[in-house]
Amino acid sequence: MKDLARLVGLFRPFAGWMLLGVVLSLITLIANLTLMAVSGWFIASMAIAGAAGVSMNYFTPAAVIRACAIARTLGRYGERLVTHEATLRLLSALRVWLYERLEPLAPARLQRYRSGDLLSRIRADIDTLDQFYLRTLVPTLTAVVASFAFVLVLFSHDPRLALILLTFLLLAGGGVPWLVGFLGEAPGRRMVGLKAELRAAVIDGVQGLAELEAYGAAAAQARHIQALDRALGREQRHLSALAGLSQGTIGLSANLALWLTVWTAIPLVGTGVMPPANLAMLALFTLAAFEAVAPLPAAFQSLGETRAAARRVLEILDAEPQVIEPREPVPPPSGFNIAFERVSFTYPGAVRPALRDVELDCAQGAKVAIRGPTGSGKTTLINLLLRFWAPDQGRITLGGIDIAALGGEAVRQRIAVVSQHNQLFTGTIRDNLLLANPVARQADLEQVCRTAELHDFIATLPERYDTPVGEAGVALSGGQARRLAIARALLKDAPILVLDEPTEGLDGPTARALMRTLRALMAGRTVLLITHRPEGLDGMDRVVTLDRGRLTPPPWRVGG
């Protein structure tokens, strides 16, 4: 229950909306029960009066019935309106809340999560948590308050009638939901895991369909997805059987309570203790009272799924960022020289360090290339500089200030990155460019694309800058995607430029043409070029070699 208590704490900002939803639900329930009870009394009284040949005041009960019918309709409408408004507000707030918790964890703490699993947490799990209010919290609070009031009403007529109603309400609203919740805990928990795994498998299969087809593994992936779907279906059938059993038990409880109420009230009518018309009223009152507890089995049955979803979401909340932001960041520096001072770093679970005692100075405006084979630690240097990871030992300074004392955003705002894996988002060319500068004008976009030698290509497209690039830029070639990333870096206009294997995967002529374009981007900036290829080294001020996490001394100058 600890997870659910923390979940309720997340709902606190919306307590007003949630309480209003409970109040309207109570009004609707009381109006419906009063309508049933007064209608039964009114019909019975009219029949008795007609048989006795006496007159009675039928205006007042008719007005009460009409008022209850109106109140029930308006209450139901208001309840749906308010509870769904609260649900949508919660949904929006919870997703934003989760994304804000995810952002500081990227990329270091998120590496162990699959993209499909993260999607499942931020969409399906949040949806499940959101239903906790609508399907569990409101019905439970309404049932507790209403049941207490209904038992008091019957107690005013006869304590035995109150005892009968209390017994069967406890059975239908307490015993059955507890049993269903107990039996549905494990299937609900497994369903959350299976749904997440199924989504991840489908996303992996779609994203990697070309590779699956190339290696003949598409059928195996389809069988895996089918097996997960069958397993999910089994759990859903199990929960459906529990739901049917619980609803049948509630119906049985209501009818037994009705039968015993009538059995107990008949002698009271016969002895004149109770007016005859009250018999119909109490019978319908008892039957209608079970509307209060009818939603509880389904609510408690979903608790297993809700708790599992809460646990998965709260796991993100409990994760500590690998890089801790300073409480009081120092003012950003005015200079843009970079220095690595005896920096060492080991990835979690790795056998050997990725970097060991790295000493590297890059003066403001200098162009430094870092060479080395794959796995030598080149990209790790960039991840540390961008504060995606924090060094185990040593420090990195920017403008003479330790970047640990600067906020991560302050560091990254001063660095533009062009890497071998530039992320292009599903959207248009314009959308991807505006990530670097949301207020850029059309003229600015065209200028940076001309510099990146991309504008002429864009001009040939029917929709020009509004042309969709497809998921992850699939509609563009490798060279075009790199040039779009270069244009985006130009639009950012940062004083420090990091080029992480910018020509990786490109053929020789394309790589050389791309490096010629990058020279325009390097002008007037502090540059770090990460590469294991010769293209572009002739324009560097200094070239150092990184091997197995160590800089190979002494650093050498091109042409020196």
CB 452 within 8 A of CB 514: no
CATH number of the domain enclosing 447: 3.40.50.300
- Is 138 within a domain? yes
The mean pLDDT of the chain is 82
Q: Which helix (H) or strand (E) holds 517?
A: helix 508-522
CATH number of the domain enclosing 216: 1.20.1560.10
Between 200 and 69, the higher pLDDT residue: 69
pLDDT tier for residue 531 given thresholds of 50, 70 and 90: confident
Name the residue with tokens 């650093």.
555
- Is 328 within a domain? no
Domain identity same for 31 and 148? yes
For every residue of 84-153, DSSP letters joined together read HHHHHHHHHHHHHHHHHHHGGGTTTTTTTS-HHHHHHIIIIIHHHHHHIIIIIIHHHHHHHHHHHHHHHH
Examine the pLDDT at 68 and tell me if it is beyond 80: yes
Residue 68 C-beta-side C-alpha neighbours within 13 Å:
18
75 class by beta-carbon count within 10 Å (0-12 exposed, 13-18 middle, 19+ buried): buried
Domain identity same for 545 and 402? yes
pLDDT tier for residue 365 given thresholds of 50, 70 and 90: confident
- Is 331 within a domain? no
Could you tell me how far CA 253 lies from the centroid of its own chain?
Answer: 40
Domain identity same for 313 and 344? no
Examine the pLDDT at 241 and tell me if it is beyond 60: yes
Domain identity same for 241 and 346? no
Domain identity same for 301 and 344? no
Domain identity same for 406 and 498? yes
Q: How far apart are CA 268 and CA 164, in angstroms?
A: 15
pLDDT in tens, 366-394: 888 888 777 777 888 888 888 888 888 88
> Which residue from 348, 346, 367 is spatially nearest to 357, judged by alpha carbons?
346
Between 45 and 132, the higher pLDDT residue: 45
Could you tell me how far CA 459 lies from the centroid of its own chain?
Answer: 39
**Cβ-based neighbour number of residue 417 at 10 Å:** 21
Examine the pLDDT at 554 and tell me if it is beyond 50: no
CB 116 within 8 A of CB 110: no
Examine the pLDDT at 559 and tell me if it is beyond 60: no
Examine the pLDDT at 57 and tell me if it is beyond 70: yes
- Is 434 within a domain? yes
CB 136 within 8 A of CB 296: no
pLDDT at 58: 76
pLDDT tier for residue 519 given thresholds of 50, 70 and 90: confident
Domain identity same for 89 and 138? yes
Between 303 and 296, the higher pLDDT residue: 296
- Is 327 within a domain? no
Examine the pLDDT at 553 and tell me if it is beyond 60: no
Q: Which of 318, 351, 382 is the last residue of a domain?
A: 318
Highest mean pLDDT among 39-48, 88-97, 116-125, 182-191: 39-48
Instruction: Calculate mean pLDDT across residues 516-532.
Output: 78
Highest mean pLDDT among 6-15, 87-96, 165-174, 449-458: 165-174
**Strand 496-500 versus strand 526-531 pairing type:** parallel
> Any idea what the Cα angle at residue 354 is, between residues 349 and 358, rounded to 5°?
145
Q: How far apart are CA 295 and CA 142, in angstroms?
A: 10
- Is 450 within a domain? yes
469 class by beta-carbon count within 10 Å (0-12 exposed, 13-18 middle, 19+ buried): buried
pLDDT in tens, 225-235: 999 999 999 98
pLDDT at 122: 74
Between 145 and 298, the higher pLDDT residue: 145
Between 486 and 123, the higher pLDDT residue: 486
Domain identity same for 357 and 311? no
- Is 184 within a domain? yes
Domain identity same for 366 and 281? no
Examine the pLDDT at 437 and tell me if it is beyond 60: yes
Q: Which of 263, 289, 318 is the last residue of a domain?
A: 318
pLDDT at 560: 35
**Strand 542-547 versus strand 367-371 pairing type:** parallel
pLDDT at 226: 92
Instruction: Calculate mean pLDDT across residues 213-219.
Output: 84
Examine the pLDDT at 140 and tell me if it is beyond 50: yes
Examine the pLDDT at 163 and tell me if it is beyond 80: yes
> Which residue from 503, 551, 497, 548 is spatially nearest to 525, judged by alpha carbons?
497
pLDDT at 159: 92
pLDDT tier for residue 507 given thresholds of 50, 70 and 90: low
pLDDT at 167: 93
For every residue of 146-197, DSSP letters joined together read HHHHHHHHHHHH-HHHHHHHHHHHHIIIIIHHHHHHHHHHHHHHHHHHHHHH
- Is 476 within a domain? yes
pLDDT at 557: 42
Domain identity same for 25 and 98? yes
Domain identity same for 296 and 360? no
Q: Structural domain tally of the chain?
A: 2
Q: Specify which residues 192 forms β-bridges with.
A: none
pLDDT tier for residue 505 given thresholds of 50, 70 and 90: low
pLDDT at 252: 92
Instruction: Calculate mean pLDDT across residues 354-376.
Output: 84
- Give me the domain span that covers residue 309: 2-318
Domain identity same for 366 and 311? no
Highest mean pLDDT among 156-160, 205-209, 380-384: 156-160
**Share above pLDDT 90 across residues of the chain, in percent, rounded to a whole number:** 11
292 class by beta-carbon count within 10 Å (0-12 exposed, 13-18 middle, 19+ buried): buried
**Cβ-based neighbour number of residue 421 at 10 Å:** 12
For every residue of 268-285, DSSP letters joined together read HHHTTSS-THHHHHHHHH
